[in-house]
C-alpha cells in the first residue's frame, strides 16, 4: 500500500514531498525517507529521554519550533523505538548498563502514554512479559 502523500502534506505544514524512499516497516507502520532528509526533530529525542518533555518543550519553544504538540508526539514515538532497538539489538554493542536503562525507559514511556505496563522477567535470556 502506497501512502497518500497529499494527505501527509496537509497534516504536515511546510512539507512538500519531492521524493520518497521506503526504509522499512513495523507492525502497524511504514518508514520512508522523504526528500532525502531525516527528521530534524529526531535530534530532540536524546534531550527528551535524559531531561523530559517539559525541558525539550522549553528548548524547542526558544528555538522557534513551529509545532510543539507534533514534536511531543514524535519524541514519544522516537523514544519508544530507540529503547526497543537498544533492547533487541544492543547485545554485545550497548555500553554497560545501557540495556537496563533502555528497559527502564521503555517501561516509563509505555506507562506515561497510557499503554501497556511492562515487567522485566527474571530469566537468563532477559525476555519481557507484557501485561
**Of the candidates 14, 20, 112, 31, the residue with the CA atom closest to the CA atom of residue 65:** 14
Express as a percent the part of the chain with pLDDT over 90.
27
Q: For residues 98 and 90, is the Cβ–Cβ distance under 8 A?
A: yes
The pLDDT value recorded for residue 113 is 65
Q: Cβ of 69: how many Cβ atoms within 10 Å?
A: 8
Q: Is 44 exposed, middle or buried (0-12, 13-18, 19+ CB in 10 A)?
A: buried
The pLDDT value recorded for residue 115 is 58
In this prediction the pTM is 0.60
Region 53-75: mean pLDDT is: 92
Amino acid at each position: 500500500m502506497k501512502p497518500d502523500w497529499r494527505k501527509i502534506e496537509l497534516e504536515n505544514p511546510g512539507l512538500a514531498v519531492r521524493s520518497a524512499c521506503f526504509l522499512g516497516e513495523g507492525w502497524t507502520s511504514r518508514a520512508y525517507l522523504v526528500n532525502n532528509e531525516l527528521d530534524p526533530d529526531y535530534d530532540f529525542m536524546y534531550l527528551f529521554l535524559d531531561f523530559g518533555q517539559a525541558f525539550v518543550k522549553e528548548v524547542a519553544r526558544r528555538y522557534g519550533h513551529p509545532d510543539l504538540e507534533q514534536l511531543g508526539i514524535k519524541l514519544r514515538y522516537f523514544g519508544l523505538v530507540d529503547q526497543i532497538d537498544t533492547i533487541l539489538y544492543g547485545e554485545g554493542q550497548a555500553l554497560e548498563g545501557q540495556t537496563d536503562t533502555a528497559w527502564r525507559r521503555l517501561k516509563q514511556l509505555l506507562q506515561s502514554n497510557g499503554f501497556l505496563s511492562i515487567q522485566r522477567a527474571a530469566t537468563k535470556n532477559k525476555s519481557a512479559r507484557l501485561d
